[in-house]
Structure 1
């Protein structure tokens, strides 16, 4: 029996994948379609379907991606420009009967009013009840960050998390210089205005600029930017020392120095796409 060598395998891979298109030499019986859904804002990744599959089989496959029961689906085939071409109503017909092409779309209309995707339940996390622990219950826990932090502060009133991390790395901790200029970073703040979309370092945390200013009691000297994050990646609800500066849910607000803020075209991103890098010392 003859076995394929490394060069043979590489040649086969190059033939199947092709030089540029990813799967240039795909089977002629398949088609690559984008999937959209009546109840979902997200546009699903392209799905490769067999032209010989019945519409019923296509619906079953789409049900695993959309959560819609096949019996509640109405499928519409659209061209690259989004123009409807055909209603795929006959479950017994083959997908190829409708002559779909790569780049076309299949729109799934969910006719079930009790569907799990209705009303944004599969996308809008604000609709999901979240567990909240009271301060009293949290204080009863034997091992918690709050208790550990208080223990460290009792030993060293100047303790900070940054100082602790430097100690664990075996390096000398150098505290950031105290800002004494009330106009600190004014040159950077002038280019940031309320209402702009932004990205905040570290971690490319996306959000909207809600406040730009200085001289607020509870904030160190210099200019600061108030941000309402798209995800709960902040430290507060837009308040400083109990004073409400802007509206934000708890954990969605934060105040950062202007040098940590980039403004421009920064749309919301997938909350699972990036790992949180941690918060810096120049953030409140």
Structure 2
């Protein structure tokens, strides 16, 4: 009689993580129940920056009720019976921690670089200097816009229903439209439906 394959049971839980100093921090982290509390703290240190020795952990159930303090670093995490959906709350006890004071989240606490218009004008390689160089060319650029009657003479040789071959590619099809198409731009356009499907528009 063949032996029955037994799969190992899952010994991990997926928990929500919050932090006392990082109000906008929220993460889902998977923990092994066999890990020690100290190993759990080490994993959280890598995600939040709070030092293991400065970390106090609280475990809450999925209704927000506190279950226990994870106070013994040597105990396996499974001793506290966490379940999927529970929450670990990190309390950072270090007043000089990188997470303290909210400066990791509050950008108003960060000193902004400021420069006067006069000083900016003296700098080379700025966007303002780039625009100034393009300025004299803007008139010629406008003059090169596509004429409203562009391709009219060529389009006069086509009519809806004509057979044609498009090159390059030697794709054959039938003319389905001749005229202006404001959505495509100025000038005259010829619309072709290919005999075989092509691209996301299926040959149209």
The normalised TM-score by structure 2 is 0.62
User: 1:92 Cα deviation (Å)?
Assistant: 0.6
How many residues of Structure 1 are paired with residues of Structure 2 in the alignment?
Answer: 141
Query: Equivalents in 2 of 1:61, 1:26: separation in Å?
Result: 24
- SS in structure 1 of the partner of residue 132 of structure 2: helix
* Structure 1 segment 147-186 matched on structure 2, within 5 A: 147-156=129-138, 172=146
Query: Equivalents in 2 of 1:148, 1:28: separation in Å?
Result: 61
Moved segments of 4+, more than 6 Å: none
Contact 1:73–1:111, Cα closer than 8 Å, also in 2: yes
Which residue number corresponds to residue 40 of structure 2? Answer: 58
- Give the greater-gyration-radius structure (CA): 2
For the pair 1:145 / 2:127, whether they are aligned, the reply is yes
Cα pair distance change 1:26/1:105, threshold 3 Å: farther
For the pair 1:91 / 2:68, whether they are aligned, the reply is no
2:93 to 100, 107, 111: 111
The CA deviation string for residues 27-56 of structure 1, in whole angstroms up to 9 with x for no partner, is 511110110001111242210011011111
Moved more, 41-50 or 78-87: 41-50
User: 1:153 Cα deviation (Å)?
Assistant: 3.0
Cα pair distance change 1:173/1:32, threshold 3 Å: farther
The normalised TM-score by structure 1 is 0.45
Query: Equivalents in 1 of 2:146, 2:23: separation in Å?
Result: 50
Query: Equivalents in 2 of 1:26, 1:84: separation in Å?
Result: 30
Q: Say which structure, 1 or 2, has more relative contact order (CA 8 Å, 6+ apart).
A: 2
Which residue number corresponds to residue 102 of structure 1? Answer: 84
The CA deviation string for residues 57-107 of structure 1, in whole angstroms up to 9 with x for no partner, is 111110111111111111010011111000000111110000000000000
User: 1:118 Cα deviation (Å)?
Assistant: 1.0
Query: Equivalents in 2 of 1:77, 1:173: separation in Å?
Result: 71
Cα pair distance change 1:173/1:52, threshold 3 Å: farther
Which residue number corresponds to residue 47 of structure 1? Answer: 29
Runs (5+) with no aligned partner, structure 2: 1-6, 149-204
